[in-house]
């Protein structure tokens, strides 16, 4: 019998447990990454393969805890010693009964987390962490991790969704290529090597001067305007001033704005400022204007929202053009599908849509939109980039797996 070299078997095993959708860097903005299903599926594969033989068990054991939720450390289901070996860390908040007992003791929680982080180095001293991706909901926990630069020296993607980033991030200077941060942090970003940043998501934009820092190699951008502030033309103008500088290099431009009025001529201006753009998201109040025939647009990202009357409270009963039913929700640009198809756009992504959740909820407007888009040869995909058909297959496979395991 011919035996494969150990190196070949290890390559095959690494391929079998690979999870590129979750553990690899993807420069294209997707919004807040929360779908962990692919990772846990790869973990089930890894654990099954560990039972084949002792050598496979030893090798695959080194890939344990590639993804860690900080809440799991507080729950004692993941040892703190695993932190340095994680590829991805989610600094999440938990409101279970166990964690709620500490909710009024914020200082105590931070102290406990500092103990966990420091205990990860017990016996080995300071070590360089492997973590490349951090999704941070808790400022203080991120601050603790960033206290030691070696913990974030490999950090390439940082999504931060609440408040200002800790100063330790900027003083440590990790080699970030992807950042999600609030607009107030822009000035501090000059302390980073911004030539490495290729993808950025800036949220809570109000009267911030977006031009305070220039990103020379930026190719993907998401600008999210503060929802609570008053509508201001200055806010729209500063976005266009920013595009004057960065637009020519952009392949992705997502502009999330629920309030500002955008004219047709301003939409046309986006086409000229971003000639190489392949993915676009327009403000809620924008109307669709077709790009020039030379444009490279492939994907349009849209919102799904509840229809309201002008007073902002009662539902606006607009009948669906497909089923003639007055849906509570509507998808942005649903009345422009023929024009969008004529523009050569072959794919529409609905922001925050996860197909596997639609199978259990009441979302007729989504399926009516999907049906109409299909009639124009447009694929509708969810936040993970899955079509309805692919998501349905995955859903049924998972349902079958769970049925067998019962």
DSSP for 116-151? HHHHTTTTT-S------EEEES-HHHHHHHHTSGGG
Is 98 inside a domain boundary? no
Position 313 scores a pLDDT of: 47
Task: Give the domain-ending residue among 37, 64, 91.
Answer: 64
CB 90 within 8 A of CB 79: no
Final residue belonging to a domain, choices 64, 80, 103: 64
- Assigned domain for 197 exists: no
Query: Across the chain, how many H-helices and E-strands are there?
Result: 15, 14
- Is 159 among the domain residues? no
Q: Parallel, antiparallel, or unpaired: how do β-strands 329-331 and 304-306 relate? A: antiparallel
Is residue 228 domain-resident? no
CB 234 within 8 A of CB 213: no
**Per-residue pLDDT at 30:** 67
Which ranges of the chain have pLDDT less than 50? 309, 311-315
CB neighbours of 263 closer than 8 A, spacing ≥ 6? none
Residue 208, domain member (yes or no): no
Task: Identify the domain containing residue 55 by its residue range.
Answer: 1-64
**What total of structural domains would you count in the chain?**
2
Q: Among residues 49, 64, 79, which one ends one of the domains?
A: 64
Inside any domain, residue 336: yes
Q: Strand, helix or coil at 89?
A: strand
Within-domain flag for 346: yes
Backbone angles phi, psi at 353, to 5 degrees: -80, 130
Query: Is position 194 within any domain?
Result: no
């Amino acid at each position: 019998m011919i035996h494969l070299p150990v190196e070949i078997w290890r390559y095959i095993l690494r391929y079998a447990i690979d999870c590129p959708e979750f553990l690899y860097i993807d420069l294209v903005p997707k919004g807040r990454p929360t779908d962990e299903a692919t990772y846990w599926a790869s973990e089930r594969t890894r654990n099954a393969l560990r039972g084949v033989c002792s050598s496979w068990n030893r090798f695959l054991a080194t890939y344990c805890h590639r993804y860690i939720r900080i809440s799991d450390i507080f729950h004692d289901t993941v040892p703190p010693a695993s932190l340095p070996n994680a590829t991805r860390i989610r600094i999440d908040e938990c409101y279970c009964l166990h964690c709620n007992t500490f909710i009024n003791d914020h200082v105590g929680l931070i102290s406990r987390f500092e103990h966990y982080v420091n205990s990860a180095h017990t016996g080995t001293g300071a070590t360089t962490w492997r973590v490349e991706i951090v999704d941070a909901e808790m400022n203080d926990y991120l601050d603790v991790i960033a206290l030691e630069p070696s913990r974030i020296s490999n950090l390439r993607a940082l999504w931060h969704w609440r408040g200002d980033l800790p100063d330790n991030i900027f003083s440590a200077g990790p080699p970030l290529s992807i950042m999600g941060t609030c607009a107030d942090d822009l000035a501090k970003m000059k302390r980073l090597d911004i030539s490495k940043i290729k993808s950025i998501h800036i949220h809570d934009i109000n009267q911030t001067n977006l031009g305070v820092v220039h990103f020379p190699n930026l190719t993907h951008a998401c600008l999210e305007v503060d929802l609570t502030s008053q509508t201001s033309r200055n806010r729209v103008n500063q976005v266009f001033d920013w595009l004057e500088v960065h637009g020519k290099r952009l392949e992705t431009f997502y502009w999330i704005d629920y309030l500002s009025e955008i004219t047709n001529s301003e939409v046309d201006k986006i086409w000229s400022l971003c000639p190489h753009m392949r993915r676009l998201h327009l403000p809620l109040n924008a109307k669709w204007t077709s790009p020039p025939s030379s444009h490279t647009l492939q994907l349009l990202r849209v919102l799904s929202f509840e229809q309201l009357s002008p007073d902002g409270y009662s539902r606006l009963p607009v009948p669906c053009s497909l089923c003639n039913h007055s849906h509570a929700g509507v998808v942005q640009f649903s009345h422009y599908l023929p024009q969008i198809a004529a523009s050569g756009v072959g794919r529409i992504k609905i922001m925050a849509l996860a197909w596997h959740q639609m199978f259990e909820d009441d979302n007729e407007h989504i399926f009516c939109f999907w049906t109409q888009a299909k009639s124009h040869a447009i694929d509708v995909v969810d936040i993970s980039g899955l079509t309805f058909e692919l998501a349905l297959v995955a859903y049924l496979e998972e349902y079958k797996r769970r049925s067998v395991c019962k």
